Amino acid sequence: MRQKTRRVLLYVSLFLFPVTMNFLSPYVSIDGAFAGVLSGSAILFLLLFLSGLFFGRGWCGWVCPAGGLAELCQTLNPKPVNAKRLRVVRYSIFAVWFGVLMTGFILAGGVHGVDPLRLTERYVSVDEPVKYILYYLVLGSFFVLDLALGRRGACHSICWMSPFLSAGMAAGRLLHLPQLHVRAKAEQCIDCKKCNSKCPMSIDVNAAVKTGSVKSCDCILCGECVSVCPKAVLSYRNKG
């Protein structure tokens, strides 16, 4: 039931992507930065950082439209990925993008205003035919990477949002905030590795179980491992 609900939420989010695209856009936030304005997407990135403090990367497992696309692609290519190698690519892309964003705010002399609907005056991101080109370009890139690289390949390689979530997650742990995570009762584990085969983020859950919890910054709290474990080893916990 939990996994069905999660998938429905992700598919609804994917369906609404023509409406929400600008609020997740790295371009819109840069456009705002050079004008000294906090756009809708810049605000969302800040909110992602804040959500990371308490919910880790739950956004990725339950809300993000790209997560919905990844779930579909995973049925076509369920191959696990080399997350470590792809992380280098992702953070390199992020460093360039974030650098441009900060440069924009510095050149503009800081933040002078807030405009949540910047470049989205009609409340819908894809509000004219030409914007479908951008929409299909974004969707197509994620689709190709998910298919070519394997499970959530695009999330691992090009996502500009996950570093905000990961930073929030790390800060939450540092501050010992009550943060949602997956806990394990190691003594009950029979090493069947069903959790590994189900994990959409290619985490070695079986190895993490030995440490008492899943600490990986890649964990998106989807709960696939919790649902599949035949010995109820894994469960959600919310402790600092």
Judged by the rule CB under 6 A, the positions of this chain that interact with ligand SF4 are 59-60, 64, 66-67, 155, 159, 161-162, 182, 189-195, 198-201, 203, 205-206, 209, 214, 219-225, 228-229, 231, 233-234
Q: Is 3 exposed, middle or buried (0-12, 13-18, 19+ CB in 10 A)?
A: middle
| Pick 130 or 232: Cβ nearer ligand SF4 | 232
CB of 90 to ligand SF4, least distance (A): 9
CB of 230 to ligand SF4, least distance (A): 6
What is the DSSP annotation of 6-37? Answer: HHHHHHHHHHTHHHHGGGG-HHHHHHHHHTTE
**End-to-end alpha carbon distance in the chain:** 28
| Pick 179 or 206: Cβ nearer ligand SF4 | 206
| Pick 64 or 81: Cβ nearer ligand SF4 | 64
CB of 189 to ligand SF4, least distance (A): 3
Alpha carbons within 13 angstroms on the beta-carbon side of residue 230 total 5
CB of 116 to ligand SF4, least distance (A): 19
| Pick 33 or 219: Cβ nearer ligand SF4 | 219
Other CB atoms closer than 10 Å to residue 166's CB: what's the count?
Answer: 22
Distance from C-alpha of 51 to C-alpha of 30, rounded to nearest angstrom: 22
